A and B are shown apart, each in its own frame.
Chain A
Amino acid sequence: MTDASNTVLNDPALPTAVAARPASGPWQRSWRILKRDRATLLAAAVLILIILSSLAAPFYARYVSGTDPFRSNLSARITIDGKRTKVMQASTEGLGLGVTPIGPTWSAQYMLGADTQGRDVAARLLYGGRNSLLIAASSTAICLFFAAVVGISAGFFGGVVDKVLSRILDILWAFPVYLLAISLSIVFISQGIVIGPVEITGDSLLLPIFIIGIIYVPYVARPVRGRVLSLKESEFVLAARGLGIPAWRILVYDILPNVSTMLIVFVPLMMGLNIITESSLSFLSIGVQAPDASWGTIIQDGQTLLYTRPAVALAPGIAIVLTVLSLNVLGDSLRDALDPRTKLV
């Protein structure tokens, strides 16, 4: 009898409960859900590829394209198929006056052609990616930090704090984001900003980072506040309060972990939104300032060349779409895995 039951238990064909369910905390479970989804893995791979190639920009400019992508290069000549060619070619359209930059060569130099200044578009695309990603990531961090502070304080402390913060959020919420961004950008970019000993010039990357970081705070703070309010009424928090646990411990051990999943889900979604916002502001010439590049400024550079050399405007747009699409796919699957209730707006 005991022998029989032992053989059943030791039968290797039977999966034991332990083997069937490896580490099973909430994080591990989420990670397993994420790992299974091919779209998520593809999106992550695309994103890593874009980040790595942006980081490689100086190497590309130095060893592959071989020209300085930040200086105009109107008299340059390059060799294609053994023939010397001017980068700025005589125009073949109209009266034949003026010059048109070289189109895509699909070789090391000027792979995607040149812009109106004779600069290598491919190299600028990589450098632009650095700025676009840097601004998007930093402004996402700023946005989530302030949104978390505002949302959690308003929700947790309630009373006057909540009233004041909610009224301020109401105002910002009603203020169309692009108009707020335009107002802030035009004022700061035209003269820079001086706060005490700190002086930020109008062409600093800090301005778009700060502006884009601030404008979306209400969009994240509102759902965070709502979540904290509902957590405050949840049974485990009531139980903790009943046990006489101090407020700060409840905040740190009960509220924060439950809000953190929500904030994590917001990271890729906000980053995608911020990349589009940054590129739009740069396209309107109130984001990244020359000679720095971002994907938005390159699209703006390409606007005058749209019908003759479309690659200049098309390439950075494709980069934006690929990046934002990957971020959105990641955001969607993170939400499904971590926190299905999270909704932006």
Chain B
Amino acid sequence: MVFAVLQRIGQMIFVMFGISALVFLIFFATPGSDPAARLAGRNASPETVEAVRKEFGFDRPLPVQYAIMMKRLFITQDLTSFVNRGYKIVPAVASAAPVTLSLVAGAAILWLIGGVFVGVVAALTRDSWIDRGLMALALIGVSMPVYWLGEVMNLVTQSRFHDTWLFSWVPALGYKPLLVDPVGWFKTLIIPWFTLAVLYIGIYGRVLRANLVEAYQEDFIRTARAKGLSPARVMIRHALRTSLIPFVTMFGLDFGVLVGGAALLTEVVFSLNGVGRLTYQALLNLDLPMILGTVMYASFFVVLANALVDVVYVLIDPRVRAD
């Protein structure tokens, strides 16, 4: 057990090193272009480019450059933007993180409830029109680009139907901090939560239905039914319990990736100033140090989340624990 955990930590450190090396290669060692000019941003003066070259040690060997980058990102945390002079990157990421976390956490609750509901109802009504309808809706949910759905939601709730009783409660786009204005926080986030959750309700509903249908062909379900247990009990205590185990891995990965920046499309459409929107604005300004910072912090977060999921997995699944 202890050995397994140590092994997992070792693997995590290896992956973190691999990712940081990859990011370093992409940003600093792409063939045929000058990394200093790129980091300095569009229309930077030759002096700025020269300063960047010195600051990041581009005249020194690659391992030294890598060490300088990592030191400035994680130890001294003094990486600054050149497009917005003096704008410190690490504190900017830290202050944007709660917005992203609020968005993803709310959406996650919605998609877990929605996904389990869709999967269970579809599996119970297998091959009926309810099942087919739910699966068709799930497939449409999976096929929609999230940012476009967000725009449609904005069109409906902010413009076309905003003056009707349905959506008159929807506040203007933007984020309100939870501790300052809890009601406003909730109201501004409902529509983004729903938008972000649709895709995952589709995915989770489809996966859960497939798992449940498979589980119902297993011996232990037949035994449970033969014992005379009620259909509800068979579903909840026996079928659902085993079918939810793969969900833990999926959920951990998806949650990590979303907090790590994959929610940026939703943040952009709804003007939520999270880590994703920070990245987006940096994209528009070609502010590469900022993107370097958000990418590195976000992917490290994802690696940590994955490692955590593996530990939880061992705790909940007795079959894995036995090994």
Contact = CB atoms under 8 A, between A and B. Distances in A.
- A, B assembled together: yes
Contact of B158 (A170, A174, A296, A307): A307
A195 B32 contact: yes
Please list the 10 inter-chain residue pairs (A to B) with the smallest Cβ-Cβ separation, ordered nearest first: A194-B32, A171-B18, A317-B148, A324-B143, A325-B143, A191-B33, A307-B159, A176-B257, A179-B295, A174-B15
Contacts of A320: 143-145, 148
Nearest to B282: A186
Contact of A328 (B11, B139, B158, B295): B139
A31 interface: no
Contacts of B155: 306-307, 310, 314
Interface residues of B, number: 53
Contacts of B260: 176, 179
Contact of A195 (B31, B142, B158): B31
B33 A182 contact: no
Interface of A: 167-168, 170-172, 174-179, 182-184, 186-188, 190-195, 199, 272, 276, 279-280, 283-286, 296, 299, 302-303, 306-307, 310, 313-314, 317, 320-321, 324-325, 328-329, 332
A195 B268 CA distance: 34
A179 B299 contact: yes
B264 interface: yes
A194 B291 CA distance: 22
A308 B147 CA distance: 18
B21 to A, nearest CB: 8
Contacts of B284: 285
Interface stretch (B22-30, B58-66, B217-225): B22-30
Given A183-B291, A190-B38, A193-B33, A317 B152 contact: yes
B208 interface: no
Given A280-B145, A317-B148, A328-B139, A174 B295 contact: no
Given A179-B261, A179-B299, A325-B139, 20 more contacts: A171-B18, A174-B306, A175-B19, A176-B262, A176-B302, A179-B260, A182-B291, A187-B38, A191-B33, A193-B30, A195-B31, A280-B265, A284-B280, A285-B283, A285-B284, A307-B159, A310-B155, A313-B148, A317-B151, A320-B143
B79 interface: no
B288 to A, nearest CB: 7
18 contacts: A168-B18, A171-B18, A175-B19, A175-B299, A176-B299, A178-B264, A179-B260, A179-B298, A183-B291, A184-B26, A272-B143, A276-B145, A284-B280, A307-B158, A313-B151, A320-B143, A320-B144, A328-B139
| Highest count of chain B CB atoms <10 Å: which of A186, A191, A276, A321 | A186
A187 B30 contact: yes
B298 A167 contact: no
Interface string B282-308: 011010100100110011001100100
B154 interface: yes
A276 B265 CA distance: 12
B142 A328 contact: yes
B316 to A, nearest CB: 20
A324 B140 CA distance: 9
A299 B158 CA distance: 18
A184 B292 CA distance: 11
